[in-house]
DNA sequence: CGTTTCATTGAGTTGAGTCAACATGGGTGG
DNA sequence: CCACCCATGTTGACTCAACTCAATGAAACG
């Protein structure tokens, strides 16, 4: 059981080395493990008393719809990430969540949270840290949408995703598997799908990176980092936090 | 002392009615009360072990700088808001904070947080709720930058700010005092100051709202709400949360 | 195999940016 | 008390990054 929770353990371990009892405490989510197929939302904006989850396998996206039918993808979540914790605290979901691929997730409720806070303040701190990291990612996306042009945005996006996947062992320094479509990228980065396509071509032709057939390959990592002004500082506070 | 903390009390009271002992617990922040003038940052991106604050009076802004010298303002904070809590949890500040007006703030440290969590889970829940609301605001701004045009963005911004100020008694339904410059708006909404100016003119000429001499006036609130597709749902979960 | 979804490319359009000039008004030092 | 400064606000003329529309492949699928 703890086996499947590896992604979350990997992530929290980046913050602090967990004791056996803390690992056990995490493993004691005996709430149902659920699977969702593409097309079935895990959560709907406006829904009351929604359930939160820990994502064990697969990718999901969080989004908001506009009246015009357009959507803005707030973020993608990968294994080890929390889903809908904010909505749980707000008691009304402020965004929707849908699978990108078929997924496996464990439910968590308010009672589980409170239990963790009671049983292990250290674990609670690790979880708050993980939540804060999610917040930092959203803020960084905000900067992208506000002040970066299309190439910088796309480059930054793939670098950040790579860094997140690396933490849970799903990426190497060279690239990673990525199940997103160009429409996903467009809705996440505030661009049109057509323009995303042109930008991807440019990145490919300039031999910076390649996104094709569900695979991301970094052809010139350093130059890409420079173009995107990518700074990992907001993501890997792990080392700094251990003292 | 509790007197000055009214803005935070007003805000948390929107989530749950607080008992006297909970109010007292909040009041027991005997940490220094500090004043900051315009031009002195409260926090710098990258700084380790920064201090967090509760803002008692005045306005501040949270921002990130880009290499090009441009900046993206992440959000403005008004009395009753937390400052830099995420940076406290991350142990390294992921953004900078500077005053918009001279301000008064109370320091909070990790120990204060832990004490609150220990002494009053209810208060802790209220604080997590307040934090979640901040997150929801950032997400809503993300949607603005990604998928709303300039007029919608500006309209949405002023409506949201109004809603937030109303919670702490600093706005009426008709308008509020707002110390921001057009440059602030530009950096927050991902537009140029020149374009902000044109949009404000348009809003004025179409008798929707007026922003002049530090005052926001809603001339046609309903139409403005309609244009901005403004939905307060993500802000006032207060009623829903009481049960 | 049609159908659907995703990717690709060209041609023309536009919202917002840039540059540049000028207005206004509070603040400050001579 | 005046003169000047500097930050903020305003407006016009021109440019451009990204959009829309449209057509066409290519692969995936029941």
Give the nucleotide nearest to A195 (CA→C1'): D18
Best of B67, B147, B183 to disrupt the A interface by mutation (most A CBs within 10 Å)?
Answer: B147
CATH code that applies to domain A6-132: 2.60.120.10
Minimal C-alpha gap between B142 and chain A (Å)? 5
Residue B202 to residue B198: CA distance in whole angstroms: 6
Tokens for B164, please give them: 């937030």
User: Which residue in A176, A166, A242, A187 sits closest to A209, CA to CA?
Assistant: A176
Tell me the C-alpha distance between B79 and B165, whole Å.
Answer: 8
DSSP string computed for A56-68: EES-EEEEEE-TT
Task: Check whether residue B232 has its CB closer than 7 Å to nucleic acid strand D.
Answer: no
Distance B154 CA to C21 C1' (A): 26
Q: Do A6-132 and A148-241 share a fold?
A: no
Least confident among A151-165, A218-232, B7-21, B228-242: B228-242
pLDDT score, position A5: 59
Determine the pLDDT at residue B243. 37
Q: Domain extents for chain B?
A: 6-132, 148-241
How does pLDDT run across A166-183, given as a tens digit for each residue? 988 999 999 999 999 999
Q: Could you read off the pLDDT of B68-112 as tens digits, one per residue?
A: 889 999 999 999 999 999 999 998 999 999 999 999 999 998 888
Task: Give CA–CA dist B15/B189, Å, rounded.
Answer: 29
Please state at what angle helix B121-147 crosses helix B110-119, rounded to 10 degrees: 120
Q: How far apart are the first and last CA of chain A?
A: 30
Nearest CA in chain A to B90: A129
Average model confidence (pLDDT) for chain B? 89
Q: Nearest nucleotide to B199 by CA–C1' distance?
A: C16
pLDDT category of residue A241 using cuts at 50, 70 and 90: very low
At the top level of CATH, which class does the domain A148-241 belong to? Answer: mainly alpha
pLDDT band at B242 (very low <50, low <70, confident <90, very high): very low
Substitution target from A143, A185, A188, A239 for chain B, most B beta carbons within 10 A: A143
Higher pLDDT, A213 or B9: A213
How far is residue B80 from each of residues A23, A195, B118, B134, measured CA to CA in Å? 37, 42, 22, 12
Which positions of chain D lie under 7 Å from any protein Cβ? 7-13, 17-22
Q: Which of residues 132-191 of B touch strand D (CB under 7 A)?
A: 181-183
């Amino acid at each position: 059981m703890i086996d499947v929770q590896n992604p979350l353990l990997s992530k929290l371990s980046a913050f602090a080395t967990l004791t056996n009892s803390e690992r056990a405490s995490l493993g004691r989510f005996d709430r149902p493990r659920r699977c969702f197929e593409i097309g079935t939302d895990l959560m709907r904006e406006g829904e009351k008393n929604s359930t939160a989850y820990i994502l064990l396998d697969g990718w999901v996206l969080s989004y908001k719809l506009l009246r015009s039918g357009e959507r803005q993808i707030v973020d993608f979540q990968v294994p080890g990430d929390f889903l809908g914790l904010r909505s749980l605290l707000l008691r009304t979901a402020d965004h929707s969540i849908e699978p990108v691929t078929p997924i496996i997730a464990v439910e968590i409720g308010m009672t589980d949270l409170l239990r963790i806070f009671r049983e292990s303040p250290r674990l609670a701190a690790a979880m708050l840290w993980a939540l804060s990291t999610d917040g930092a990612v959203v803020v960084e996306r905000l900067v992208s949408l506000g002040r970066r042009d299309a190439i910088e945005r796309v480059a930054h996006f793939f670098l950040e995703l790579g860094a997140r996947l690396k933490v849970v062992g799903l990426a190497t320094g060279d690239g990673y598997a990525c199940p997103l479509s160009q429409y996903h990228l467009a809705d996440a980065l505030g661009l049109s799908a057509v323009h995303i396509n042109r930008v991807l071509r440019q990145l490919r032709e300039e031999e910076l990176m390649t996104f094709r057939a569900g695979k991301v390959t970094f052809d010139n990592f350093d130059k890409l980092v420079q173009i995107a002004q990518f700074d990992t500082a907001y993501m890997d506070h792990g080392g700094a936090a251990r003292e």
